[in-house]
Amino acid sequence: MVAVTTISGSLLCGMPKVEAKANWSFELILRKAEKRYGRLTPAKKRLVSWNELIERGRFLPEVEKLKMVNQFFNSQIRFSDDIAIWKQNDYWATPIETLVKGGGDCEDFSMAKYFTLRQMGVSEEKLRITYAKVVKPDQAHMVLSYYPTPTADPLLLDNLVDDIRPAAERTDLLLLYAFDSQALYSVQAEGLKRVGTVARLPCWQTLQAKMREEGFIVGQG
């Protein structure tokens, strides 16, 4: 699970100052992954399936995109903590790293879904990566929130639950903070309240740098 620190300080691991849609050459990404990891079987199958998912989903209605992406990662990726995968207490993996390893924790699921939906053309304004707490047991968690309109009750894409449900129906979760490429927000009953910038999320910057090394071009979209 993700470690959540107090908002009055710094959130220890966030993502890069992501600037909307990630565009890439899949062939370049695959070459770079093979150079880094060597033979990718069966990881290569997951990467190819991911690219096929993106191409298939580009022109579908957004609700269908959400279902496809949520189902893909929940079925293709096993839950495992950072110590087991990366030998670190808190590591934010890129989508490529998550797919190559075939495992990840809640933030890895959320971020992989975020970037996949962005590549499918879902507007950045509709997506927020969201810090949450599982009520029982009391445990930190992370999900991806989709806002069909700015004031709507968000739909939650969660590795714990395959169904995509409105936040109001997820009484097992308490949503705390959310972020996108521009800002950090407090999740309140009346909606999102901006409380800071992504400068308070240092690992968000690190993740973007890693993605560029992998062959992503992260720019305005």
pLDDT in tens, 161-191: 999 999 999 999 999 999 988 899 999 988 8
pLDDT of residue 38: 81
| Coil vs helix vs strand at 18 | coil
217: left (phi over 0), alpha (psi -120 to 50) or beta: beta
Nearest to 86 by CA among 76, 97, 95, 78: 97
pLDDT at residue 24, rounded to an integer: 66
pLDDT given for residue 14 in this prediction: 37
- Tokens for 204? 């968000």
Q: Please check whether residue 208 is in contact with residue 16, taking contact to mean a CB–CB distance below 8 angstroms.
A: yes
Task: Report the 10 Å Cβ neighbour count for 68.
Answer: 18
Pairing between β-strand 191-197 and β-strand 103-104 as defined by DSSP bridges: unpaired
Structure tokens at 74: 């929940």
47 contacts 96 by C-beta, under 8 angstroms: yes
Residues of the chain predicted below pLDDT 70: 1-24, 217-221
Residues sharing a CB contact under 8 Å with residue 87, sequence separation 6 or more, in sequence order: none
List of domains in the chain: 22-216 (3.10.620.30)
